[in-house]
Structure 1
Amino acid sequence: MSWWCAAQDSAWSWTWQPYVGVWVMVTALVALRLLAESLWAPRATTAASPSRERGRRLPLYLTGVAFLWIATDWPIGPLGAGYLLSVHTVQYILFAFVAPPLLIAGTPRWMLRRMIRRRWAFRVARTASRPLVAFLVFNVVLLATHLPSVVDGLTASQLGSFAVDMAWLIAGLVFWWPILGPLPELDPMPYPGRIVYLIANVFIPTVPAAFLTYAKYPIYALYELAPPTGGLTVVQDQQIAGMIMKIVGGFIVFGTASVLFFKWARAEAEDDHTSSHSGYVTSPSRLNTRTK
């Protein structure tokens, strides 16, 4: 029984293997969320009461936890840690682009406020809301964790593999925080700024994706020396990994930017409608005042 997924010297087997650390992480994430709701939830009976908000947000949160479980447990966890780079890239997508927005969107606003109640926590949350900070953190982690020295050096051990996974998760939370997390008191970006921020984050990942897609030789010794799995050559597996990083990651980012664009357009239309309606209501009074 292993604590976390790591590279192995043996050939791949479809025999199920337990990973205790993964179960502890998943159980802790769910238990802490339920405990926070029982201890912190404000008492209210309005339409926006905690029970109603819980019904809307808890499924999103649990879905995010489920994706973390899928990314770290058998079979994706061990396959990505030491056999197939393409599966390793799927893990990266789940950790950085899929689970974090679900976790943030699934956390009630009153819980976020409680979490940043202390001054130092508020400063951290406000700093993470700055697009430049989030941009740098996310892309530095992306580039660093895909360096051959990091992949070959860390993924071979359980502790190193755990460190890479947690770095992806933290970077993903920081990346999505300016889009989904900021409370009004954190001075969030308007819709146009969020769209520009998302699109700007598309270009840096294309660098490692291009290296993986177009390289004619294996980049990572870990996967080059791994026991053959899946009927793919090392270069074919590497090319698939590059395409997953570029296409799937870009699809998620551009899809989110499109949703934000339509929300922005709808908000602008509602503002215009409100302004025109207000003008229509006040015009007769002004006209009557002038005729008097």
Structure 2
Amino acid sequence: MPLSIFGFRALWSPWFLLIIILGMALYLLLTTKMRHRFKDTDPVTKSQLFFFMAGMVMLYVIKGSPLDLLGHILFSIHMVQMAALLLIVAPLIIMGIPNWMWKKVFDINIFNRIFSFFTKPILSLLLFSGMFSVYHIPLILDNVKLSPILHTIFTITLFISAVFFWWPILNTLKGQPKLHGLKKIGYVILSAILITPACSLIIFVDVPVYETYKSGEAWLQAMALCVPASTLSGLSGLGISGPELFTNMPTLVDQQLGGIIMKVFQELIYVGVLGSIFIKWHREELDNAEEITANALLERQRLTMHGQ
């Protein structure tokens, strides 16, 4: 059965598209024509502009295009959404916002305190991994998908936890929590380890565990998250009983594929991040080789003199 039966609003989310366009327009205004109204600003770079716009476009594709509708039909697509939202969109938005704009945000004391606390590396790591794991507990996910309010709250909170997670790796602001060299590498590796149990449980469980992806009644209620109530009521006479009408993939296979997709997606992105961290760290070591050698010699002389 074609997805078009759910209507234009469900497929393309025009109101969400409008929000995305307004967000992009506001960003362009603040970083160009209105920048002179703020103190201590710098021109936006081409890379920052690309990162922010790419992040916003991807955000619409994830949460506003037919991919979002598919994410309520197939668990595997839901996990593609999660991977892209948390591991690609969040860092793109961070890198796309100029430092002077972040500083304006942190000038507001409450935001500065929240970021300073929740972006401490250990806390941000545990918060992100914990939020992701808890969200995909069957009881939690099923109840969240049956409530538009809970779904919105959980999605926003999970995205914010991803921003907190990426902040110590990506931010370049003085006074903000950040990691360097080997600590960054260890941070990323530990994140991969902490998310593994949740993905493994999804991959290796031998029965479908999410009611909203296997039960026709629960699934139809969950579809209200992206399909207008008037459209759903109009479809009641078509005999729509569940997601199996839109896919030939067995529910268990779809569920296991979702876990595999999330883990593979995460590993690929983390390998890329680790590679870039190692290259940058190696270059910094080479650039500062003379200073490092000089400091090492001074330390050795100090220890020698102390031993005498």
Structure 2 residue aligned with 1:95, among 85, 92, 104?
85
For the 8 Å contact 1:95–1:168, the answer to whether it is kept is no
8 Å contact from structure 1 (residues 145, 151) kept in 2:
yes
Residues 145 and 266 (structure 1), Cα distance of their counterparts in 2 relative to 1, 3 Å cut: same
1:224 aligns with 2:220: no
1:89-148, Cα deviation, whole Å (9 max, x unpaired): 011011110101111111111111111112222222222331012112201210121111
Match of 1:180 among 153, 163, 170: 170
Q: Does the 8 A contact of 1:63 with 1:102 survive in 2?
A: yes
Structure 2, unmatched stretches of 5+, are 216-241, 295-308
> 1:19 — aligned with what?
13
C-alpha change, 1:76 and 1:100, in structure 2 (3 Å) is: same
Cα distance in 2 for partners of 1:94, 1:25 equals 19
Structure 2 residue identity aligned to 1:39: M
Count of residue pairs brought into register by the alignment = 262
User: Shift of the alpha carbon at 1:179?
Assistant: 0.7
Aligned twin of 1:253: 270
Give the Cα separation in 2 of the matches to 1:154 and 1:12.
Answer: 26
1:77 aligns with 2:68: yes
Residue 249 of structure 1 aligns to a residue whose secondary structure is helix
Equivalent residue number for residue 207 of structure 1 = 197
The whole-number CA distance in structure 1 between the counterparts of 2:269 and 2:193 is 14
Secondary structure at the residue paired with 1:83? coil
Provide Cα deviations, 1:28-74, integer angstroms capped at 9, x if missing partner: 43233234324345578xxxx833x3323111101011111111123
List per-residue Cα deviations over 1:188-213 (Å, max 9, x = no partner). Answer: 22222111111110012111211111
Contact 1:128 1:177 in 2 (8 A): no
State the distance in 2 between where 1:97 and 1:223 align: 24
1:167 and 2:157 matched: yes
TM-score by length of 2: 0.77
Matched, 1:50 2:42: yes
Contact kept in structure 1, 2:168 and 2:177, CA below 8 Å: no
Q: Rate the CA distance shift 1:275–1:181 in 2: closer, same or farther, 3 A.
A: closer
Please give the alpha-carbon distance, in whole angstroms, between the structure 1 residues aligned to 2:194 and 2:63: 25
Gaps of 5+ in 1: 1-10, 278-292
Name the residue aligned to 1:266: 283
Q: Report the alpha carbon displacement of residue 239 of structure 1 after superposing the two structures with TM.
A: 1.1
| CA deviations over 1:257-291 (Å, ceiling 9, x no partner) | 121011101100110156679xxxxxxxxxxxxxx
Corresponding letter in the other structure for 1:150: I
Q: TM-score, normalised by structure 1?
A: 0.81
**Residue in 2 that maps onto 1:59:** 50
Partner of 2:230: none
Which of 232, 252, 256 does residue 239 from structure 1 map onto?
A: 256
Picking from 12, 34, 49, the partner of 1:39 is 34
| CA contact 2:12–2:66 (8 Å) conserved in 1 | no
Give the match's secondary structure for 1:185: coil
Residues 51 and 95 in structure 2, CA contact (< 8 A), matched pair in contact too: yes
1:187, distance to aligned residue in structure 2 (A): 4.7
**In 2, distance between residues paired with 1:120 and 1:247?**
37
Residues 60 and 105 in structure 1, CA contact (< 8 A), matched pair in contact too? yes
Per-residue CA deviations over 1:153-185 (Å, capped at 9, x if unaligned) read 121343333333223321211111111125122
Deviates more, 1:267-276 or 1:235-244: 267-276
RMSD: 2.4
Question: How many Å separate the matches in 2 of 1:61 and 1:208?
Answer: 30
Choose between structure 1 and 2: higher helix proportion.
2
Structure 1: distance between partners of 2:139 and 2:83: 21
Pick which of 58-67 and 227-236 moved more: 227-236
Call closer, same or farther: CA 1:178–1:222 in 2, change over 3 Å: same
TM-superposed deviation, 1:27: 2.8
